[in-house]
Copies of this chain bind each other. A is one copy, B any other.
Amino acid sequence: MIIVIKKDTTQEMIDHVVERIKTAGLAVHISKGKERTIIGAIGDESVLVSMALEAMPGVESVMPIMKPYKLVSREFRKESSVIDLGGGVRIGDTEIQVIAGPCSVENRQSLVDCAIQVKAAGAKILRGGAFKPRTSPYDFQGLGTDGLKLLAEAKKETGLPIISELMDPRDTELMCEYVDIIQIGARNMQNFRLLMEVGKAGKPVLLKRGLSATLKEFLMSAEYIASQGNSQIILCERGIRTFETATRNTLDLSAVPVLKEETHLPIFIDPSHSAGRWNLVAPLAKAAIAVGADGLMIEVHIDPANALCDGAQSLKPSKFTALMGELRKVAAAVGRTL
């Protein structure tokens, strides 16, 4: 950690800062420049974080040097992680994986129909919400356990592994009985108790980035899961909140190469939620593959106009099939398969 001392600070104040750092067990290097004195604290920086050095008299700023995440960092593990779902579905490998399906599970017929069609188009994983986080308490909240049962039936029919969102730590065990990947939604990215539960559950987790989470915070939330012994984590960028209102959120595609440097975990992109409009899904999905994402999560609905949730951003199966063909070309152009 680097501590910058204000100009005209007394030696006594500087000594007081140095003393505190040494008491915490770190070594100290001091560089005196003409305008500023700089203190370098060498050792376990995390001890200093809670010490409020920036509130001490004479301290101008405090700059951490170490990354706050460990287990999920590229430094900790140089090779990219691959999550193997069995049946040849490997996440984080050369093949790009597409998760597709409806926003929420509505009934057996439409779910199974959708599953059959997205499978035929090349999707390898089925999505479907059973518990739905809705902004309004008066909106459809999902079918709950019945939704999970329908997902299990769709899996039986198609062989597709399934993913669904967990909202409540009390549902973790139930969820684990049914799904292959547990999804943590953007609004729960810093629901730390939920992160700890899925860390203990041991199932693969897809963690969505919060609407205003920095990439550092995103990685810290993944670290929460990993710290409980579970490092089968997929990071999913789904748009951040900015001043721009032409799209529901601003898809931060730069996050993919930045995260690839910082972490060994696979990175997915959800173009459906970020844009909020089905006609933006295709260009953004292509861009996601071009920028280096390991997979996509796309909403597909048999009948978007009558969907109980997020119909405006859902593709019809026919459009999804066409898109998959286009995505294969882009994947090939960047040396990957799909």
Contact = CB atoms under 8 A, between A and B. Distances in A.
B29 A290 contact: no
B284 A253 contact: yes
A121 interface: no
Contact of A169 (B134, B170, B255, B257): B170
Interface stretch (A94-102, A107-115, A153-161, A185-193): A185-193
A246 B280 contact: no
B312 A283 contact: no
Contacts of A240: 242-244, 250
A329 interface: yes
A277 interface: yes
B242 A55 contact: no
A11 interface: no
Contact of A192 (B68, B167, B290): B167
A279 B279 CA distance: 31
A281 to B, nearest CB: 10
Interface in A26-58: 29, 31, 33-36, 38, 40, 42-43, 46, 49-52, 54-56
Nearest to A278: B55
A13 interface: no
A173 interface: no
Interface of A is mostly: mixed
Contacts of A284: 253-254, 257, 291
A256 interface: yes
B246 A215 contact: yes
Interface string A77-109: 000000000000000000000000000000000
Contacts of A192: 133-134, 137, 167, 187
A50 B139 contact: yes
A256 B280 CA distance: 10
B258 A52 contact: no
A261 B147 CA distance: 37
30 contacts: A2-B38, A31-B40, A33-B65, A46-B136, A50-B307, A51-B305, A54-B312, A68-B135, A68-B136, A133-B192, A137-B223, A138-B227, A168-B193, A169-B169, A187-B190, A187-B191, A187-B192, A212-B243, A215-B244, A216-B246, A242-B250, A250-B250, A250-B252, A250-B254, A251-B254, A253-B253, A254-B274, A257-B279, A257-B284, A283-B291
Given A31-B42, A254-B274, 5 more contacts: A31-B40, A210-B212, A330-B333, A330-B334, A332-B333
